[in-house]
Amino acid sequence: MVAGMRTDDPSWFEYDSGTVSPAELTALLSDHLLPARRDAIESVLTGRTENVAVVIEGMVDVGNVSAILRTADGFGIQRVHAVDNAGKYKRSKRTTRGADKWVDKYRWETTEECFSNLRSDGYRIVVADVGASSQPISELDLTDRCAIVFGNELDGLSAAARAGADASVTVPMEGFAESFNISVAAAIALYEIHRQRMSKRGVSGDLSPEAKDRIRAVWYAKTVTNARVVVEHKLSGSQPS
């Protein structure tokens, strides 16, 4: 198992001894986690959502990417998409503090490919833009399934992102600066989405039972040292040496 694998990767549940369900994987690993850790996972799952996604388009600053990943995790957002149209980036462990381990990360070569996938999965695509046509983020209902898109630190959003968006929002400013740092803008935007969802629903997390089972199982596997070896031994009926 690779810690960076997404929770929707079927490899988490495939073993030499056969395929297991998420519930079976959880049961096989449960006694290898301390009760406090199991409780912490349940608490985080309660606030988790796959109905809000973050898209990072073409960013080149490692710190900004890592900060957005950490913010997404902090607000319970499970899915983060990155469009690599501005070159590769590397994660910053110092900035993410391990938060990116728990978030599902998707990589795309083009914005069009990313948006097509999101739209086919039922997401409304909202870009964060400083343009005159953008409305303040607090004025747009963002409580339903949506993907919020943040652009390059140097050039902003691409023309493809603007053309492919369903809506455009901005974070109002009162000072001389024309825009916030992109990681700051992302934090404000994600807080606003969280605030709206809490206000309308009373909760921000809304994982389906199936998604919760899948993510729980994968998080158990990411937590337990040598989880694959442990599971294989239990499935085969032998004891690890």
- Sketch the domain layout of the chain as residue ranges: 10-44+208-236, 49-201
Average pLDDT over residues 116-130: 96
Average pLDDT over residues 2-30: 91
Q: What is the pTM of this model?
A: 0.89
For residue 192, what pLDDT band results from cuts at 50, 70 and 90? very high
Question: What span, in angstroms and rounded, lies between the C-alpha atoms of 98 and 141?
Answer: 31
User: 49-201 belongs to which CATH class?
Assistant: alpha beta
What is the pLDDT at residue 241? 47
For residue 96, what pLDDT band results from cuts at 50, 70 and 90? very low
Residue range 42-87, pLDDT digits in tens: 999 999 999 999 999 987 777 888 899 999 999 999 999 999 865 5
> Residue 236 is encoded by which pair of tokens?
């085969």
Residue 28 has phi, psi (to 5 degrees) of -65, -30
**Burial, 235: exposed, middle or buried (Cβ in 10 Å; 0-12, 13-18, 19+)?**
middle
Averaged pLDDT of the chain:
89
Average pLDDT over residues 145-152: 94
What is the pLDDT at residue 63? 85
- The b-or-e profile of 151-176 (16+ CB within 10 A means b, else e) is bbbeebbbebbbebbebbbbbeeeee
Taking a C-beta distance cutoff of 8 angstroms, is the pair 147, 55 a contact?
Answer: yes
For residue 89, what pLDDT band results from cuts at 50, 70 and 90? very low
- Length of the chain counted residue by residue: 241
